[in-house]
Chains A and B, each alone.
Chain A
Amino acid sequence: MSNVLSVRDLRVSFASEAGRVDAVRGVSFDLEAGRTLGIVGESGSGKSVTSLAIMGLLDENAKVTGSIVYDGQELLGMSDKQLSVIRGNGMSMIFQDPLTSLTPVFTIGDQLIEALTVHRGLSKKDAWERSVELLKLVGITEPERRMKSFPHEFSGGMRQRVVIAIAMANDPKLIICDEPTTALDVTIQAQILDLIEKAQLETGAAVIMITHDMGVVARTADDVMVMYAGKPVEQAPVHELFHRTRMPYSIGLLGAIPRVDKAEKVPLTPIKGNPPLLINLPDACPFADRCPIAIDACRAGEPELLPVATGSGDAHRAACIRVHEIEDGGLINGLPVYPVREVPESPLTRVPREERPITLEVKNLTKTFPLLKGAFLKRKVGEVHAIKGVSFDVREGETLAIVGESGSGKTTTLLQIMDMVKQTEGDIIIAGTSVNDIRSHKVERELRRDIQIVFQDPMGALDPRMTVADIISEPLFAIGTPKEEAHRRVDELMDLVGLNPAHSDRFPQAFSGGQRQRIGIARALSTNPKIVVLDEPVSALDVSIQAGVINLLDELKAKLGLSYLFVAHDLSVVRHIADRVAVMYLGDFVEHGDVDDVFENPQHPYTQALLSAIPVPDPDIERTRQRVIFDPDSMTTRPISV
């Protein structure tokens, strides 16, 4: 088979205030028609820049060298005009955010027809017919009618389907997918991945799948390239990479992901530290500072990406000088590359659940939004039920996770509790005090001491104009703690969450994402709360960083006897961290119980579909298991069909 795309020693650098940023430092690969290359890496690893360089969509201040040969033509050095003949015609791209990749002021039909007529010179009528055909192909019902709809009339998943239809429009030879499902719910993600596979079969195109999700790679890719600090560090066929991993970074990445299909709670292996800044990199292995098995020779020169013999006969290349010592299963000389940590155990776990005190009790929580009509004088014409009478309790030393997709009402539930909204029919009882009894601000402030929150976005939750010490001590001053004591407590807390107390006079910008989330956790713990509400605390973090934060949460729970109310959409994380789980669908709990019961033996069809949609980071399991999807009309599941 001939190569559709052949990249050799691709290098991209940008000029910046602090110096030259080397975003991509020597990427080479070949891609045949009909095959899928998965590029995995954390943010800043250069995977997106690589794809943009191939598409020729980089900014003018980017310096690109090397060679990109597509279909026999050298792309580097082509003018934008020459490139646009190729872009969209032979090469197409699916971006992460379907909201911004469609123009809001044109109908879906117009955009599809434009894609067809620009490159093909089809007549309006032919283009229309082909567009309807494409929409049908990507599973949009009533395509004739939908042609006249605007992007905002579609849901996120539907929009991504339209984007795929546009990408398929001109029988591309290469489809580049840049995190195509990151912005979508997990059940939609599964459908979109199936659809991309279908588009590939239909057009015979080669696909580059860029993602940070090992599960997505396990499911879709034929070959995998792991990138770190702008360079590929391991390149191999998918089974080879997952089963005979050789590069310590890839081993760490795989060990850092919680598994939805594993019950026992093994602590995750976080990779310590942060990726290096891509400015003036020394001639050393860029991973050496984070690598648990680094030796002096690692810092003497950057290792090349060299072939490794793993005994399977597959082409496998890795950039590590100790690669020959590493064995299957992430072992070196019989010991794991990443030392296993002890699982912290709390004395509370031995006390039966019924005997532990209740820290948060919610009875019949209801929230409705009024539907208003009228331009000037608004009158109420109905109600939307965002939460329909939800009841649960959280006991000391326990984690309750509420899972659900976007719009299920899980965040609204949290906000009702945090806002301490008085309930007419139900009740919210925090550490023994009912919110219906709050009569003054003083009582409310006292109660806030017992319940604290950690937000999703570690960037947005910390005031950028305050030092870390000020941020952590803010809740203490709010409840009137004397200054001396607050300062002592700040040092104590920073120690507790694994930050250096000497850094307390810095601003949050000086910290990485994972460290910022630790600051957020320290702030939440400052008042010694009984219950901590965690609103998607790790979903904005990279996997290697995420693992560290999850371990910290586990540890803190055991050490301090905390209760967590955990809201998440990532079921793998929930499986790992939660004791009990509640599945929320359309404002109501459809299933609620012990985490292993729910995950092993889901009763409600919605839970079954949700669980079956999660990709497992193991290509053997992932490609053989049977998946089901949920049909909201009949409230049953059915096997998938795209």
Chain B
Amino acid sequence: MTSEMIDPTVEPATPVVSGPETERVATRRLSKWTLYSRRFARNRGALAGLVIFVLLVLFAIFGPMIARYDHVELDFLALSTGPTAEHWFGTNNAGNDLFAQVAVGLQRSLMIAVSVSVGVTIVSALVGTAAAYFGGWTERITLLVIHFMMVIPSFLILAMISNKSGGDWRVIALIMIFVIGWYFPARVIWTLALSLREREYVSAARYMGVSGMRIVIRHLLPNIGSLLVINFTLGVVNAVVAETGLSFLGFGVKIPDVSLGALIGAGSSSLITSPWLFYFPAAALTLLTVSMALIADGLRDALDPTSAAGGRA
């Protein structure tokens, strides 16, 4: 991404001159990371998103420890009660403590989301850049596979396999990476890497005799780094939503394991009689996706100098 090579702080000084002229005054510049964090911190929404996300993670980790009940433990003295001092989020009709269930469910949802997003980012980045760099048959076959993946009903396949596996979250995560996740970002990365391939530093490396895979890892991948960070954040949102949808339909994580989707699915059937069963997990889900979206938005503005927030003081 060219824009990062030009110091955004001095860009307005010479707004119409061409590229090589703008770097003139770039000898003393803010360090890249100071600049990024300063821009990110200026974005109130992104900062709020970060705070919410950290609180949610803390809740997912420490919630089960401070809860008075285990999430599988049944309290027969309190069936379908609303929030009380004993059960902070209330209980369901079997006597499960909802506080413990939401904490564990959030933990499970986060684990799926993060591992899926990490996997998707790695696979798509490698496939996309390698296809672009090597070109020729590698590129043609990769694109063929990507376009094939785009037309198959992948959600259906996911539902079928996950049902068969008995709701094991690891199987679900793997399928989400390899069946639905990777190909769309891979195609976006491919188009970006196409322009990187033509950069002179890539030719320079090739003329030095550097091997192909090394060029991909050392030159192409770091230069789409900011895009990968954003992709990762948005990937978390997508994965949470997909997993929730799956569990809501009954194809996802199965009892005794819980996830936010499964809780919302169970809670929605008794929305009139015991609304807390729906609202607490739904609130956790909403907070998670909204915070991630805010963070992604802030990161995009901070990393991309051409966005609305960029360049301005």
Contact = CB atoms under 8 A, between A and B. Distances in A.
A88 interface: no
Contact of B313 (A15, A59, A97, A475): A15
Interface string B209-239: 1110000001100110100000000000000
Given A17-B8, A61-B12, A44 B209 contact: no
A122 B95 CA distance: 85
Contacts of B38: 17
Given A453-B204, A540-B20, A43 B12 contact: no
B199 interface: yes
B273 interface: no
Contacts of B201: 460-463
Nearest to B201: A463
A448 B23 CA distance: 31
A59 B26 CA distance: 21
Contact of A512 (B27, B200, B313): B27
Contact of B28 (A275, A277, A452, A516): A277
Interface string B77-99: 00000000000000000000000
A275 B5 contact: no
A456 to B, nearest CB: 8
A42 interface: yes
B30 A513 contact: no
A17 B28 CA distance: 13
B23 A18 contact: no
Interface residues of B, number: 49
Nearest to A475: B208
A458 B312 CA distance: 27
B23 A23 contact: no
Interface string B8-24: 11111111111111111
Contact of A478 (B10, B25, B208): B208
Nearest to B210: A478
Interface string A414-445: 00001000000000000000000000000011
A275 B209 CA distance: 37
Given A44-B14, A509-B7, A448 B208 contact: yes
A18 B29 contact: yes
A62 B12 contact: yes
Given A15-B313, A18-B9, A463-B201, A541 B20 contact: yes
B207 interface: yes
Contacts of A44: 13-14, 21-22, 24-25
A327 interface: no
Binding site secondary structure of chain A: loop
A59 B223 contact: no
B24 A49 contact: no
Contact of B14 (A49, A277, A453, A455): A49
Nearest to B313: A15
A17 B25 contact: no
B192 interface: no
B167 to A, nearest CB: 42
A15 to B, nearest CB: 4
Nearest to A229: B25
Contacts of B26: 509-512
A234 B219 CA distance: 45
B14 A461 contact: no
Contacts of A15: 12, 312-313
Given A418-B207, A452-B208, A459-B5, A277 B27 contact: yes
Contact of A17 (B14, B24, B200, B313): B313
Interface string A502-517: 0000011111110010
A131 interface: no
B30 A18 contact: yes
14 contacts: A17-B9, A44-B21, A59-B12, A59-B15, A96-B16, A274-B25, A274-B27, A448-B209, A453-B203, A459-B23, A464-B223, A465-B222, A466-B218, A475-B210
Given A418-B203, A464-B223, A475-B209, 5 more contacts: A16-B13, A44-B24, A44-B25, A276-B25, A509-B32
Interface of B: 4-30, 32, 35, 38, 199-201, 203-205, 207-211, 218-219, 222-223, 225, 311-313
Nearest 9 A/B pairs, CB to CB: A43-B21, A465-B222, A14-B12, A475-B208, A44-B24, A445-B209, A461-B200, A448-B209, A17-B9
